[in-house]
Chain A
Amino acid sequence: MTMTDTRPSIIVDNVRKTFLIRHSHSMKEAVIGKIRGRKVGSTPFQALDEVSFTVNEGESVAILGHNGSGKSTMLKLISGVLEPNAGRILVRGRLAGLIEVGAGFHPDLSGRENVYLNAAILGMTEKETDERFDDIVDFSGIREFIDQEVKHYSSGMFMRLAFSVAIHTELDVLLVDEILSVGDAPFREKCNQKIRELSDAGKTMVVVSHSVGTVRELCTRGIVLRKGKKIFDGPIEEALEVHKAKNK
């Protein structure tokens, strides 16, 4: 641990998240379903069940689990996109997510306009964006196209710019979800480098990834989820073991 201050940044307390799976999408469907004796209404699906943990300031934690284990749901709960059905989540400081980085982009706007739009969506002020604008553009490596409309970008250029905005936001806590599929190998390396820098700078980090390499490199602690329940919380190597063991 690099920080002497070990106050928590994220507190997850007995969190439960249930999704309702609707079986019918209109009144007509419901009536016909009823007549045919199919299931109508909705069945609950327990995505997260009584999960608790705390992440201390400066810590890098990986959330491991299979598809459907609830790890992305956990991240969405921490970011505030979803709300838990029971339990509490508390966070401290500015949160930023490397989650679907291109979500706020508008294809008809230029790269420059999109940088400002997305920075604002991610919680930055105009002044902060002005200050970082050059860093953002340099990092993305597409300065010559910055005044073109984004719809003319290749998908790689698009992702690079989007990622670059997201990684340059002012943050205390970084949420990372499967980002490292961005761009080509050199750019991916640059991203990893930048994330490591943030980690070394004492930023708190929660990482969801399937890549054992990334997780081992970035995180010191791992939480393993299985079917919405926390089954392990501890040092990253052991967590990876547990995660691998239940693969079999």
Chain B
Amino acid sequence: MADGLTNPHLSDFRTPGRGNGILDIFTKRYLLKVLVKKDVSTRYRNSIFGWLWSYAKPLAQFLVYFLVIGIILQMDRGVDNFPVYLFSGLVVVNLFNEAFNNATRSIVGNKALVRKIYLPRELFPVSTVIVAFVHFLPQVVILILAALLYGWVPSLLGIVAALVGMLLITLFSTGLGLLFGALNVAYRDAQNFVEIIRTFSTWSAPVLYSWDMLAHRAPDWLFHIYMSNPLTASVELFHYAFWFDTSDGSLATPPLLLIYVAVAFVIAIASIFIGQFVFRRFERNFAQDL
């Protein structure tokens, strides 16, 4: 038998349960599409307001932050057109939180399937990230309407910046989602840890305050790390895309933003490699650990 296994005529054999990892999202496009469709169409089943919740939730969140941070803590005076500033950052963080959270729970949530049928398991976290992205789009629509109200004129560069920001968040949350989604199967502690990361995420990026407040206080090295956080980079890209042109220009776009974005991309792509590596290591035990 041992000889037989190296025999070239066995070349059309494959080892069951070994996919191509994250690359299977390209070879199994149809399956991915069906999984996304399932999640999207069952999300608001049995609810009267349905998709309205996708608008209502971010608006409520915006209102709370605007009243507390904007009016009570008077950020409204420090940053021109603060509502647009706030909302354009908020949607980015929401996308990250939603995608990251969904992906972390995706393997455990699809227990029945993972235990019984083999399909490339990377599809679960990836499909939930896509679902999060679908739910993020209504928020972008609100953002665009609000920005137009404040005199925003779409520019090519702005649109590119927004798209780059979205891509960055999607990559980063996919990477982290793969990592924590896999860990969550063996140790449910992971999802609690992710809750904590999500609590930090809103504050770890200049959403409720401006980046220059930190620049004045933090040492240089810390500031550079802060700015290279993929979340911060995306938020600043969104500020640039939707808010900067409507403002009086007193809060400049951070210098070196392009470099920070480049570093953030390296981090996001590294997170995918690390996430995939850990995912693979844990995947062999998914069916028995669930």
A interface list, Cβ under 8 A from B: 11, 13-14, 19, 52, 76-83, 88-92, 95, 97, 99-100, 103-104, 106, 108-109, 113, 116-117, 120-123, 125-126
Number of interface residues of B (CB under 8 A): 32
B118 proximity list for chain A (CB < 8 A): 79-81
Pairwise interchain contact A99-B116, C-beta atoms closer than 8 A: yes
Chosen A-B contacts, 22 in total, with CB atoms closer than 8 Å, are A11-B4, A11-B10, A11-B13, A13-B2, A13-B5, A19-B288, A79-B118, A80-B18, A81-B114, A82-B288, A90-B10, A91-B13, A91-B14, A92-B14, A100-B116, A100-B117, A103-B115, A106-B42, A120-B30, A121-B31, A121-B117, A121-B119
Nearest CB of B to A89, in Å: 6
Pairwise interchain contact B117-A79, C-beta atoms closer than 8 A: yes
Question: How many cross-chain pairs have Cβ atoms below 8 Å apart between A and B?
Answer: 94
B41 proximity list for chain A (CB < 8 A): 109, 113
B16 proximity list for chain A (CB < 8 A): 77-80, 89, 91, 95
Select from chain B the residue with minimum beta-carbon distance to A73: B288
Pairwise interchain contact B13-A90, C-beta atoms closer than 8 A: yes
| Majority-rule SS of B interface residues | helix
A103 CB contact (under 8 Å) in B12, B17, B34, B113 = B113
Q: How far is the CA of A97 from the CA of B113 in the complex (A)?
A: 13
Nearest CB of B to A76, in Å: 7
- A89 in contact with B15 given A103-B113, A108-B45 (CB within 8 Å): yes
Nearest CB of B to A8, in Å: 8
Say if the beta carbon of B25 comes within 8 Å of chain A: no
B residues 107-163 touching A (CB-CB < 8 Å): 112-119
Closest 9 CB pairs of A and B: A80-B17, A80-B16, A80-B118, A90-B13, A83-B284, A120-B34, A103-B116, A100-B116, A108-B45
Nearest CB of A to B193, in Å: 15
Q: How far is the CA of A19 from the CA of B288 in the complex (A)?
A: 8
A121 CB contact (under 8 Å) in B1, B10, B17, B113 = B113
A117 proximity list for chain B (CB < 8 A): 34-35, 38
Pairwise interchain contact A106-B17, C-beta atoms closer than 8 A: no
Q: How far is the CA of A81 from the CA of B287 in the complex (A)?
A: 6
A123 proximity list for chain B (CB < 8 A): 31, 119
A97 CB contact (under 8 Å) in B13, B117, B288 = B117
